[in-house]
Amino acid sequence: MNRREAAVAALEGRIGHVFHDRELLERALTHASVGEGALKVRHYERLEFLGDRVLNLLAAERLMALNPDAREGEMSRLMAGLVNYHACARVARRIGLPEALRMAPSATKIGARDKDTVLGDACEALIGALYIDDGLEAARAFFLEFWTDEFARLDEPRTKDPKTQLQEWAQGRGLALPAYKVVGREGPDHAPVFTVSVNVGDYEPEQAEGHSRQEAEKAAATMMLLKREGPK
């Protein structure tokens, strides 16, 4: 048994489900980079599409049970805390999914194996695969066990994201709202790297990189906050 095979076996052990359809599991763990230059490699994007819908159903179902008197707006806020790529990536790391992923060496080299966006997508694909392999109950059992920490996080004080902090910092000084601009994009389609600049008033612009435009904007906002007086 090679290292990846051992990682896949360990993954199944952690989630308590041995797949009947081994090809389905392999597809759920195959990143799109493996198919570059090959037409017949099946990767997890279609399963991710399904898994996202299953995850939303399970999260909504659980929230309805836990919050019988909550209004729709509050439920939507709680859903946003449970169903996002950061939450999915945390779950992926808890179950050892990064080590089990099948990925092109070029993607691994640039750090794609540990990116929240990649791990979040793969986690949703795994949920989709569980649903196909053994029905909604298998997906529900996975969700109830591995989303426990995510439900606990809902009660933690919410920290404002860097873009919100920077906006409030600028408004508090009578400045125009921060302006973000994509100044560069590199890398393959499955793992792009965006460079974004942010301008606030007459201050010197700051630049930062990220694997999505939003990630780069947040990083640029953080850079601006770190170099100027303002909220930490």
Residue 118 phi/psi, 5-degree rounding, is -70, -50
CB atoms within 10 A of CB 153: 14
Residue closest to 17 by CA, chosen among 150, 131, 147, 149: 131
Tell me the backbone φ, ψ of residue 174, rounded to 5 degrees. 70, 25
Catalytic residue among 52, 133, 150, 215: 52
Q: Which residue has the tokens 């695969």?
A: 129
Bridge partners, 180 (sequence order) = 198
Select which of 72, 74, 114, 124 is catalytic: 124
| Whether 202 is catalytic | no
**52: annotated active-site residue:** yes
Report the candidate in 140, 141, 131, 133 with the shortest Cα–Cα distance to residue 50: 131
Measure the CA–CA gap between 67 and 46, rounded to whole angstroms. Answer: 32
Q: Which residues fall in the annotated binding site for Mg(2+)?
A: 48, 121, 124
Give the residues across from 208 on adjacent strands.
196
What one-character DSSP code corresponds to residue 176?
A: P
- The answer to whether 119 touches 91, Cβ cutoff 8 Å, is no
Identify the CA nearest to 91 among candidates 190, 15, 33, 30.
15
210 DSSP β-pair partners: 194
C-beta separation of 98 from 112 below 8 A: no
Q: Known binding site: residues?
A: 48, 121, 124
Catalytic residues: 52, 124
